[in-house]
Amino acid sequence: MEIVDNKALLLRLRNPQKITTVIPKSKDLGEGKVLVRWGLDEAQVLKNMKIRNVPSPILGHYAWPGQYKPFDHQRTTSAFLTLHKRAFCFNEQGTGKTGSVIWAADYLMREKRIRRVLVICPMSIMDIAWRADLFKFAIHRTVDIAYGNAEKRRQIINGNAEFVIINYDGVEIVRDEIEQANFDLIVVDEANAYKNTQAKRWKVLNGLVKADTWLWMLTGTPAAQSPVDAYGLAKLVNPVTVPRFLSTFREMVMNKVSQFRWIPRPNATQIVFEALQPAIRFTKDECLDLPEMTYVKRTVELTKQQQRYYALLKNRMIIEAAGEAITSVNAAVNMNKLLQISCGAVYSDTGETIEFDVKNRYAALKEVIDETNQKVLVFVPFKHVISILAGKLQADGITAEIISGDVPVNKRTDIFTRFQTTQDPRVLIIQPQSAAHGVTLTAADTVVWWGPVPSLETYAQANARVHRSGQRHPTTVVQLQGSSVERHIYQLLDNKIDIHSKVIDLYNNLLD
């Protein structure tokens, strides 16, 4: 039930078929109030009539299942989504967008408004974020990941799972099956991947979104690179907010100053804001109920080259373990080799360095950087990988500096000062032992671990570089993991267990 003004009730009575029940005015309700049965239909009628601050019935009629109770901003986000068939969620990374979406979708399923949900997201968060959060917040729902060969994907799409998770490029592979499966709701996570209307990825999604399809697009950094990026997103969610042609929109938001250079017009921000509607946004600063530091995992598949060498080394370790007792020293050396392969560069016994293709891990790192508005620390355990990574970021136009044992103290001081007080560099790539103690780097609110370190003290102290006095934002620690040795080590670190004390047990678990 809901108490509303008589005026609001009269507005709804213009569409009397939308009214479920009207209970006569009672003296207990106060002057000018009536009690009505409140559901999605009633809320939608008022919203369509431009009534402001219409409450979603999810706020009063939903038990919010799962392991955790929602924060206030998550409840508000879920309520917003239930009232908007097409919408943007621009909540910043670390604010719990995934949970808000799951609760909203679960409520719509309960109300028989939708039956199946297709979640399109980066490969790195299909399992570690979406499937894991579905188990946390809606364990009563069925979920599957459409990944693997084309036939496996087809079977999952055509199966009975209520939530199906798929990566961006996988959508094209099973496009026909998705179209026939009639997903009622499509959720696109890190939606900036769909900013280019000329890309095949965009065209495929646009063809899948029908008139009656719910579509929610999530990103913490809309149009971060250019105001023009808003065009592709708006064309998917609410095309009436932008002109028919991209060139017209570009001229609205950009000034051409030379043959190859455009700069944003003074009113570009307002135009982008109006184009990307309806939308909701919470920054981490606004979410006062958030924990101070949030830990997030991202799964990054090893490339085929990495997988081959990882398997060879692991088989050799199994043979060695069968022939003699393994000491903690030998176990640590072998596990370190597995970590090196996972991170992208292994050092041979003769001192040579063998580089591996790390495109999957780099793509995940780039996604994290793109999703935050603040600066980023990237901790990389192995020195040779640091230079590779710096080159990749700089090639992508991201200003980055290196902190390692090879950087002189006076130069480190200069880099730290510029990082804290100026716009550039945006990213610091750090060898953990070189900046794990005593340094304040609160200009960053996000820490990314390219790979884990075996020292609990180094790990905790490195994270403390951002989580200390002077930090004005809630902070996020992102763990990139692609191999079993990384998953095991992160689990020990999360549980505040020193790896060195468990090295033999960890080694045996890896071999099993």
CB 52 within 8 A of CB 7: no
pLDDT score for 36: 61
- Nearest CA to 383 out of 450, 439, 446 is that of 450
> Rg of the chain over CA atoms, in angstroms?
26
Of 216, 220, 233, residue with least CA distance to 104: 216
- pLDDT (tens digit, 9 = 90+) per residue, 42-89? 888 888 877 778 889 999 889 999 988 898 999 999 999 999 999 999
275: tokens are: 């184009």
511 burial type by CB count under 10 A (0-12 exposed, 13-18 middle, 19+ buried): middle
pLDDT of residue 469: 64
Q: How far apart are CA 479 and CA 487, in angstroms?
A: 9
Mean pLDDT per block of 10 residues along the chain (512 residues) reads: 46 43 49 68 82 86 91 94 96 86 97 97 84 93 94 96 96 95 94 93 96 94 86 96 95 88 91 96 75 84 91 85 74 88 82 85 92 92 90 94 87 89 94 76 94 88 80 88 93 83 78 74
Which phi-psi region, left, alpha or beta, contains residue 182 (left: φ > 0; alpha: ψ -120 to 50)? left
H helices of 254-408, where?
A: 268-275, 304-323, 328-343, 359-370, 383-395
80-103 pLDDT per residue, tens = 999 999 999 999 877 889 999 999
pLDDT digit string, tens, across residues 266-290: 999 999 999 999 999 998 778 756 5
> What is the C-alpha separation between 143 and 138, in angstroms, rounded?
10
**CA-CA-CA-CA dihedral for 418, 423, 425, 429, to nearest 10:** 90
pLDDT tens digit sequence for 155-208: 999 999 999 999 999 999 999 999 999 899 999 998 989 999 999 999 999 999
